[in-house]
Amino acid sequence: MPEEFLVADTVEAFRTELINTGIINAKTNQLTKDAAEIIYHEFTNSSLQQYQEAIKEKFIENMKAKGSKRIEIKNGDEEPVENGYHSFVTEKEFQKLLAELRERINKRTIYHVNIDKEEFIKQSIEEINKHLTNKFIYRQYEIATGCIDFKKSNELQIHDPAKFTINLGIEEIENNKSDFEIINYLMHQTFLPRKALIRIYSALENKILLQKQEILDEVIKILQNKLNEFQAKNIEYEVLEGVVFEEKNIFAVDEIEQWMLNESAKKAYKTKEEYRKALQISV
């Protein structure tokens, strides 16, 4: 762009273009989306239009230079892969992709989870004991006294409250639940075998705390998380030979209603013809 065009009016015109396309925030001038999206915007300012391709290229280049903190590590022994614009696949290629996709997703599978029972019990005991270490129910109350006033309807305010704390010490926990009831509750909430839960419960060092419902629920959460962790590490899938989904249920065509088309039209715009012929929908 010639130097004589680099004046305040031109700069403000370019800023307006960036705001109109939603690339920068009007108040902070900070990026609100990927700077590369400017290539899909046609400048409306006549002074910028004749140089818009060069302006867009330099803008993207400068934004990448300022904002990128990623360090690219390249293997000098391998040929670099150049990324660029791609066209849609041909009908023949599409049918090939569709056939491969159909082959992969029409089969039914079952999964097996092989958990090391002894390791699961061991880790569960260690984690629960660690959680219950030095845990106790401490009763403490804060009392405030002062003048009260109603600012608005149903709104109470205390003026200059004098606060003091009453400590009642550690709460004595009563044995209201039997071991059987606790284990039964754990089994119902975690779906773990009773024998495994009996071994875990028997090895707990401070099991009296499980008489309190909130702590019992914390222990249940620990067991559930530990079970999910072991399941994720030891899951295996097996294809059921001869059992498949019906193709009509996999590639069913959705019914299109007019309101869907109207909504899509608001979010769709054409990409530049020299890159590809398509409709790109902003989701």
CA atoms within 13 A on the CB side of 280: 12
- Domain residue ranges of the chain, discontinuous segments joined by +: 3-70, 88-106+245-283, 119-135+174-234, 138-172
Q: What is the pLDDT of residue 228?
A: 93
Distance of CA 73 to the CA centre of its chain: 28
| Dihedral sign (CA 13, 18, 20, 21) | positive
How is 37-97 classified by DSSP, letter by letter? GGGG-----HHHHTTHHHHHHHHHHHHHHHH--PPP---TTSPPPPP---PPPPHHHHHHH
pLDDT tens-digit readout, 58-116: 877 777 766 543 434 455 556 666 656 555 677 888 888 888 887 777 777 788 888 99
User: What pLDDT shows up at residue 73?
Assistant: 41
What is the model's pTM?
A: 0.44
CB 22 within 8 A of CB 36: no
| pLDDT tens sequence across 226-262 | 999 999 888 887 877 776 666 666 666 666 666 666 7
Secondary structure (3-state) at 256:
coil
CA distance 176 to 202: 18
d(CA 125, CA 123): 5
* DSSP conformational letter for 36: G
State how far the Cα of 56 lies from the Cα of 33, in Å rounded to an integer. Answer: 15
Rounded to the nearest integer, the mean pLDDT of the chain is 77
- pLDDT at residue number 7: 72
Alpha-carbon 170 to chain mean position: 41
